[in-house]
Amino acid sequence: MSKKLLALSLLTIIANNCYGFDYDKIYYQIHGGWAKLNKASHNHNILYTNMNAAMVGAAWGYDVSSVLRTQIDAEYRFNQKLSAESVDEAHALDYRVYTGTLAWTNCIDMANFYNVIPYIGFGIGVARISGKAKFIRGDFTTDGSANRIKPSINFHWKMLAGFAYKVRDDLYFSIDYGYKSFGKLKKTPRANLTGIEVAFAIRTRF
């Protein structure tokens, strides 16, 4: 219920402020950083190791008001290593996983402290997960083969918090910490993928 109220509140703020569209409030952003994915398997006999990867992204956004920004962002995480092994060590796998996301994100900017602006954000969208097996022992896949992971399209959501530094009215540098959910990896052993990310961004207007 709280998520629905939050979404309704954001939509109301946007509707109340967007009647006078101003092209000068459009901004563009590029960002990149470090991503660490976590796994939650439905099989308690499976032991996972962590995945680390690089993340890159870009966004197109609009300053709805002095405190609210809304944007569409696309991100890609590549060469994430997913390793799993059964407790009895009879089965093991090593996948390379690739995750892309497209999300609608809203950020609330707090007070400006000497050009340092803390902010929080929430986004929803879609995630596409794909990959390829590099090593396999035992029967860890549905058909017993070490082939590509069938791509899956899942619901994606994220929460983030960070700080932006205002260089001038049309240029900001920022860093944020985010928690993100990507949905299920559709290959046995099935795993729900979530992750934490640290991203650096440059936001500007043209």
Residue-wise pLDDT for 49-103, tens only, equals 667 788 999 999 999 998 999 999 999 988 777 666 665 666 676 777 788 999 9
Q: Is the per-residue pLDDT at 179 higher than 90?
A: yes
> What gap in Å lies between CA 38 and CA 74, rounded to an integer?
21
Q: Which residues contact 57 (CB under 8 A, 6 or more apart)?
A: 30, 31, 32, 73, 74, 75, 76, 199
Q: Which residues contact 174 (CB under 8 A, 6 or more apart)?
A: 119, 162, 163, 164, 165, 200, 201, 203
> What gap in Å lies between CA 27 and CA 23, rounded to an integer?
9
pLDDT at res. 38 = 73
> What gap in Å lies between CA 132 and CA 117, rounded to an integer?
41
Average pLDDT over residues 148-169: 90
> What gap in Å lies between CA 55 and CA 6, rounded to an integer?
28
Tokens of 16: 């109340």
Average pLDDT, the chain: 80
pLDDT at res. 48 = 56
φ, ψ of residue 43 to 5 degrees: the values are: -110, 110
Average pLDDT over residues 162-176: 95
The CB density around residue 6, as the number of other CB atoms within 10 Å, is 12
Helix, strand, or coil here: 112? coil
Strand partners, 107: 69, 121
pLDDT at res. 98 = 84
Predicted confidence band of residue 204 (pLDDT cuts 50, 70, 90): very high
